[in-house]
Amino acid sequence: MAKEFVSFKLEEFQSLYETTVDVNLADSGCHPVKLSELVDSKEGVDALLDCDLHYPAVGGTTELRDAIADFVGISGPQKSETVLVTVGAAEANAIAVASLVKPGDNVLVMSPGYQQISGLATNIGAKIHELRFKEPVSAGAPWTLDLNLVPIGVRFSVVAVNNPNNPLGRILNTDEMRAVVEIAKRSGAWLLSDEVYRGSERTSDEVTPSFWSMYDKVVCVGSLSKAFGLPGLRVGWLCAHPDLIQSFWRRHEYLTISTGILSMHLATIAVRPATRARLFARNRQLVREGYKRLEKFVTEHSDVLEMSAPDATALGFVRFKGIKLTSEEFCHEVRKRASVLVAPGAHFGAESHFRITHGVVPEMLEDALGRLSEVVRDLQRGYPV
């Protein structure tokens, strides 16, 4: 008998409620870039207006695929054939899972984590295992990857990681990256590395290393939605051996055919080294300033809230203490009372937490934090729910 379809709880929560609130802080990127920030010259505007609204190159233009390859650190004569341009990382992950996971397979995923891979693999009939980050015992200490909890003797078909991680913002260090590769190697598994937050580093100006060159059976996923601040373009990518890219491409033809031609044009501008550097600098500044505000807020409410400092991303993953609600109930209270949307920790596999985006313009964040403060204090006092 077919198992019941598992929906993507986080995305379901966001799509149901994000248009119903005054302030949406349940998204995972920075305040979006305006078209005028990306195309800021007369020649640029003319080139955009001159675009034929035809179907674009289905797998992405060679210029865009080359630029993405450079960003991921792929070189050699086949570099453009190593990249397939998709409709966001969402399509990229969906293609990768559909291609690499069969019913009954064992799949290892990070937890807490963005649950797209686990949901897709579950719906195919795979068994999910967790590569867990351990919650810190003392407030503010980092979450640590617990490699001892990875089941021994299980043969994984896919080991899926997300680095930097959503929702924790943790960047794996070199030893942790090597250990992840070893786990994949032991099973001969594919390493599916979702790297959409590369470029959103908070504590350094170095782009997080890719898993690309660390293992031959690697598939890297990227996107313009996060560190580039361009989620509305719906552009993402898959990087893999050219033969595998061809089989991903066959699925892409069924699913979406291609992303839009205007998106492809604008993506080519965004990924060029000079624009990329400018966008990363813009977004890192939002991340750094937003984090300071969020940190101050959490400190002022330290009797009820705590958070570990993220290395990257515009995300805070905040634990609430002494409030007897599930994370879903908590987020619904915040939504209903304050008209602010934050995302339940349960949708990442960690109860008693909520995820909040801080990389937005200061007025918006301050407004939301003020509203959140009132709700948190009410809930702490046991205000009737």
At closest approach, how far in Å is the CB of 279 from ligand PLP? 15
Binding to ligand PLP by CB under 6 A, coded x per residue (else -) over 5-34, reads -----------------------x------
Q: Is 99 in the site for ligand PLP (CB under 6 A)?
A: no
Nearer to ligand PLP, 236 or 345 (CB): 236
Query: Which range touches ligand PLP (CB under 6 A), out of 49-57, 83-91, 103-111, 263-271?
Result: 83-91
SS3 sequence, the chain?
Answer: CCCCCCCCHHHHHHHHHCCCCCEECCCCCCCCCCHHHHCCCHHHHHHHHCCCCCCCCCCCCHHHHHHHHHHHCCCCCCCHHHEEEECHHHHHHHHHHHHHCCCCCEEEEEECCCCHHHHHHHHHCCEEEEEEEECCCCCCCCCEECHHHCCCCCCEEEEEEECCCCCCCCCCCHHHHHHHHHHHHHHCCEEEEECCCCCCECCCCCCCCCCHHHCCCEEEEEECCCCCCCHHHCCEEEECCHHHHHHHHHHHHHHCCCCCHHHHHHHHHHHCHHHHHHHHHHHHHHHHHHHHHHHHHHHHCCCCEEECCCCECCEEEEEECCCCCCHHHHHHHHHHHHCEECEEHHHHCCCCEEEEECCCCHHHHHHHHHHHHHHHHHHHCCCCC
377 vs 379: CA distance, rounded Å: 5
At closest approach, how far in Å is the CB of 263 from ligand PLP? 11
Of these, 8, 13, 71, 114, which contacts ligand PLP (CB under 6 A)?
114
Helix axes 116-124, 88-100, angle to 10 degrees: 40
- The sign of the torsion formed by the CA atoms of 284, 290, 295, 298 equals negative
Q: Is 331 in the site for ligand PLP (CB under 6 A)?
A: no
Query: Which range touches ligand PLP (CB under 6 A), out of 30-38, 84-92, 207-215, 351-359?
Result: 84-92
Nearer to ligand PLP, 93 or 308 (CB): 93
Nearer to ligand PLP, 39 or 312 (CB): 312
At closest approach, how far in Å is the CB of 355 from ligand PLP? 10
Q: Is 89 in the site for ligand PLP (CB under 6 A)?
A: yes
At closest approach, how far in Å is the CB of 52 from ligand PLP? 25
Query: Which range touches ligand PLP (CB under 6 A), out of 16-24, 87-95, 124-132, 185-193?
Result: 87-95
One-letter amino acid at 331 equals C
Residues within window 185-204 making contact with ligand PLP, judged by CB under 6 A: 194, 196
- The sign of the torsion formed by the CA atoms of 181, 183, 185, 190 equals negative
Nearer to ligand PLP, 169 or 231 (CB): 231
Nearer to ligand PLP, 56 or 119 (CB): 119
Nearer to ligand PLP, 69 or 89 (CB): 89
210 vs 217: CA distance, rounded Å: 14
Neighbour count for residue 27 (Cβ, 10 Å): 21
At closest approach, how far in Å is the CB of 40 from ligand PLP? 24
Q: What φ, ψ does residue 93 adopt, rounded to 5°? A: -65, -40
Residues within window 215-234 making contact with ligand PLP, judged by CB under 6 A: 223, 225, 231
User: What would the two tokens of residue 54 be?
Assistant: 């035809």
Nearer to ligand PLP, 106 or 162 (CB): 162
Nearer to ligand PLP, 88 or 169 (CB): 88
Nearer to ligand PLP, 114 or 379 (CB): 114
Of these, 56, 59, 60, 88, which contacts ligand PLP (CB under 6 A)?
88
Query: Which range touches ligand PLP (CB under 6 A), out of 82-90, 249-257, 275-283, 328-336?
Result: 82-90
Nearer to ligand PLP, 17 or 378 (CB): 17
Of these, 166, 210, 268, 327, which contacts ligand PLP (CB under 6 A)?
166
Give the residue closest to ligand PLP by C-beta. Answer: 88
Residues that bind ligand PLP (CB under 6 A): 28, 88-90, 93, 114, 116, 162, 166, 194, 196, 223, 225, 231, 236
